[in-house]
Amino acid sequence: MTIIPAIDIIDGKCVRLTKGDYTQMKVYNENPLEVAQTFEGAGIKRLHLVDLDGAREGRVKNWKVLERIAGHTNLTTDFSGGISTTENLSITFNSGAAYATIGSMAVTDEQILSEWLLAFGPDRFIIAADVRDGKVATRGWTKTSGVTATELFERYKRKGVRQFFCTDISKDGLLTGPAFDLYRKLMNEHPSVDLIASGGIAETEHLRKLREDGCAGAIIGKAIYENKITLKELEQFA
């Protein structure tokens, strides 16, 4: 199972929200590159970089942070937040992202995303299902669609996408444990995809259970920043 630390960006700073609420923001570091280099120094290979300003505004905003991290580390970085046009997508890839993580667009603009998959290849994309009350949320979790995670997975695995993130918003940032039942359900329904769990992870036991259940990866944010899980403890999952 691949461990993927998350760096969430607002105004160029490393922050964390609680349950996707922009009013519940905590700044952890004003230099995201420094954070990324710390991860790399601990043997981490991948990074999940989230442009929260971009997610809320519907266009990529913090691409300079991506550019700095890609230029000064060897981390395989996926970038998300505000990728809503071909120009935004080009900025994302040109700034050094290995993968573009698509959430809102996967729900609201299937036709355009399908064109991107054909143009760039499905291996360059990760589909993010951020779930609230069983439905996928969009626009930085500020709106809720009528689409379920199962429907979203089915739609895009048919188009060749292999990697899928899934976050239970109700657990995000609370450190109360992941949505094990939701992940098991999705993996049973879609055994051919790589499901990467996100939200609620607070201890290494949660990671062991996710690995036993068959998750391909796990995104960790607040647990690292609040020292609930140390980078040393993550070595066992490498």
8 flagged as catalytic = yes
Residues 6+ away with beta carbon under 8 Å from 54: 60, 61, 62, 81, 82, 83, 88
Catalytic position from the list 8, 51, 53, 172: 8
DSSP 121: -
Contact 129, 84 (CB under 8 A): no
Residue of 51, 53, 130, 172 marked active site:
130
Residues in the chain: 238
Q: Which two tokens stand for residue 85?
A: 């046009």
Contacts of 87 (CB under 8 A, 6+ apart): none
Contacts of 125 (CB under 8 A, 6+ apart): 99, 100, 101, 102, 113, 116, 117, 161, 163
Say whether 194 is catalytic.
Answer: no
Longest dimension (CA), the chain: 44
Active site residues: 8, 130
